[in-house]
Amino acid sequence: MTTESSAPAGAPEVSTRPNRLSRWARLSRWPVVTLFFSAASVVQTWPLAKHMSDHLSVWWFFPYDAWAFLWNLWWVKYSLIDLQTNPFQTDYIFYPQGSHLYLHPLTFVNGLMSLPLQLITGDILLTYNVLLLVFLALAGIGGYALGHHVTRNHLAGLLAGYIFAFTPFIFMRMGGHINVFATWPIPFFVLFLVRLQESSRIRDAVGAAIFWAILTYNWLEFATDAGLVFGIFFLYWVVVYLRRRDREGLKRFLSRTAVLVGVWLVISAPVLLFTLRDLRSGDYYQPGGDESFSADLLTYFTPSPLWGPGDSPVPAGHNPLHQAHVGSIEGTEYLGGLPLLLGTVALFGLRRRLHRVLPWLIIFFFFAVMALGPHLWINDSTDFTVLGVSFSVPLPYQIFDKMPVIGGRRVPARMIVFGVMALSVLAAVGLDQIMSWLKRRLSVAALAVGVLALGLIGLEYWNPPVFLYEYTNSPGLEQIKNDSGDFTVLDAPLGRRTGWTFAGDATGAALVDYYQAFYQKPSFGGYLSRVKTEGFTWFQEQPGLHYLTCPSCPNPASPDDLDRTKVRDAFEKNRIKYVILHKLGPEKLGISYVGEREIQIMDQYLRNIVGFTPFYTDDNLTLYRQEAANAATAP
């Protein structure tokens, strides 16, 4: 806020002071805003800051997504720096078939942002956790920039940034969905859109295009939603210009938005073209689920289960596999009482400042309705203790779902992120209106209301302490990493997974993603969001590999699995030099369907049939290698 002087304009001792204050305010604004949201990020994720190198905030019942996004960060760095190859193609997991990663949420920009930390520290857990804090802070800064630009009110801008960055839906993603958690480019993209309409400057068109491209490279669903925002914004202002009969203004607007789309297409083409190719091929698993992963209407008004204790993202009595239900992972879209109240206050300014309110209102309702999915559900429950209500009248998402390329998304509930962005701006406008009214009567009261609003939203969105699990690394993996030979690693129990579809052991599949970042060699299993159907079950036809997919299965081993010659030939053909027998997960939790009996069965099989010997063991895993390799390195 600037200070106005009532002294004569010619008095130098008075007129220079406001200029100095204004200059200081301009210079200090961004450092103060950055410090505010950095501190808020540490507080809201506490005690993560105390355990950056040895803990992760993951869902205890489904940690696989977090492991996959750890792998993403490592793979982007390893492919670009060590292998100098295309990061959107890998044969390091799902070996030897490999997979394209264009339909997998690789979050490529996240990986680029992680490069300095990975190269300096070599610590993937530290890198992952630092990025979480950076994403939150950047989302807050971007939300502030957008809110302040619309209202010219610093406190209203801080409120908008806080609502957008720390909305409960985002904190539910902290347990594993870092593609959804990294919302920070969204407010910057929208800010440049707004500035483009106001100024018609090409640099604002380029700025919007760059942030749209960042969203495209990071995650295609956010890029699609950004395109929907652009479409709403474009149509709104075309109508406005036509109603004003402002042909020159319309011409400038059309030319600048054409620049925006053109620059975005040029930057995004390398990933868009290959993504469209893989989409059209029909070769990739495309799991559905839009009915199961749509928002329940009550979730918009039901506080997050993470509020306060923050120790469990799934309320008692609910099956975590049905994620759309109120209070579950995909069912925590709580908008907040204060944002909704202030957004309602903003509506009173519709007649006086129509274009400061109406576009955001349209965007908010559009995405809030779309997040509800194909049908409207109210108070649905998996345990049937509460009667769920469904309305047969189709919602607009059904039209969207049938659209080529952009339709068919699995989780409509995630569209609420852009709705929260619009709501944050509406709340900022509402707060600014209240403060402006009070300022005409008592400026101190206006300031107090702004500070109080920040405090109340901090309380309403209060998240700490976050749920954390200690993660340990096995020093024996360093030997595999430092072995310069050309070979592969087999993780047992062996499996491959994509979404809810898997072959072999589902947990063993995901363990590859976590541990490969440490041993850094090709492996047969893995977990990716979208993979080719062809060759997905190849490993189940290989002697020995087939047996290690399911040691607890009741069916007896096949003759090929017990034929030492065939098994050892298969291991030699696939260049398997090391086997990792997983006994517990990296957080020391059990592996589904793997107990002491299964561990003993696999241990004896590796020793007696495969001919490998153990050389390292700890609570989590045992490492085996070929006897010949062992003898060659013996003193």
Based on its alpha-carbon atoms, the radius of gyration of the chain, rounded to whole angstroms, reads: 27
Q: How far is the first Cα of the chain from the last one, in angstroms, to the nearest whole number?
A: 75
CA atoms lying within 13 Å on the CB side of residue 116: 3
Look at residues 100, 95, 99, 131 and name the one whose alpha carbon lies nearest to residue 113: 131
Q: What is the pTM of this model?
A: 0.91
CA–CA–CA angle 539, 574, 610 (5° rounding): 85
What is the DSSP-derived secondary structure letter of residue 8? -
Spatial distance between the Cα atoms of 540 and 525, rounded to a whole number of angstroms: 11
Spatial distance between the Cα atoms of 146 and 140, rounded to a whole number of angstroms: 10
Q: Which long-range contacts (CB under 8 A, 24 or more apart) does 504-508 make?
A: 504/539, 504/540, 504/549, 504/550, 505/549, 505/550, 505/591, 505/592, 505/593, 505/594, 506/592, 507/64, 507/585, 507/591, 507/592, 507/593, 507/594, 508/549, 508/582, 508/591, 508/594
Q: For the packed helices 354-370 and 220-244, what is the interaxial angle rounded to 10 degrees?
A: 140
pLDDT of residue 590: 87
Alpha helices in 282-298 (DSSP H): none
Percent helix, strand and coil across the chain, each to the nearest 5: 55, 10, 35
pLDDT tens, residue by residue, 150-208: 999 999 999 999 999 999 999 988 988 999 999 999 999 999 999 999 999 999 999 99
On whether the CB atoms of residues 491 and 461 are closer than 8 A, the answer is no
Look at residues 144, 149, 156 and name the one whose alpha carbon lies nearest to residue 197: 149
pLDDT of residue 311: 56
The sign of the torsion formed by the CA atoms of 179, 184, 186, 188 equals: negative
Concatenated DSSP letters of 494-558? -EEEETTEEEE-HHHHHHHHHHHHHH-S-BS-EE-SS-BSTTTTGGGGSTTTTGGG-TT-SSPPP
- Record the tokens describing residue 404, joined without a space: 């080529």
> What dihedral do alpha carbons 509, 511, 515, 520 form, nearest 10°?
0
Residue environment code for 445-475, b if the CB has 16+ CB neighbours within 10 A, otherwise e: ebeebbeebbeebbebbbbbebbbbebebbe
Q: For the packed helices 64-77 and 506-519, what is the interaxial angle rounded to 10 degrees?
A: 30
Spatial distance between the Cα atoms of 383 and 174, rounded to a whole number of angstroms: 26
Q: Which long-range contacts (CB under 8 A, 24 or more apart) does 111-120 make?
A: 111/72, 111/73, 111/75, 111/76, 111/77, 111/87, 112/76, 114/73, 114/76, 114/77, 115/76, 115/77, 115/80, 115/81, 118/73, 118/74, 118/77, 119/77, 119/81
On whether the CB atoms of residues 499 and 527 are closer than 8 A, the answer is no
What is the DSSP-derived secondary structure letter of residue 590? B
pLDDT of residue 290: 64
Spatial distance between the Cα atoms of 512 and 68, rounded to a whole number of angstroms: 9
Q: Which residues, other chains included, contact 270 with Cβ-Cβ below 8 Å and sequence gap of 6+?
A: none
pLDDT tens, residue by residue, 222-267: 999 999 999 999 999 999 999 999 999 999 999 999 999 999 999 9
Which residue positions in the chain have pLDDT lower than 70? 1-25, 286-291, 308-325, 380-393, 552-556, 628-635
pLDDT tens, residue by residue, 97-137: 999 999 999 999 999 999 999 999 999 999 999 999 999 99
Q: How far is CA 107 from CA 166, 180, 220, 251, 305, in A?
A: 20, 10, 9, 36, 27
pLDDT of residue 289: 60
pLDDT of residue 43: 96
In terms of DSSP bridges, do strands 495-498 and 526-527 run parallel, antiparallel, or are they unpaired? parallel
Q: Which residues, listed in sequence order, are joined to residue 56 by a DSSP beta bridge?
A: 469
What is the DSSP-derived secondary structure letter of residue 303? P
- Record the tokens describing residue 590, joined without a space: 């059990």
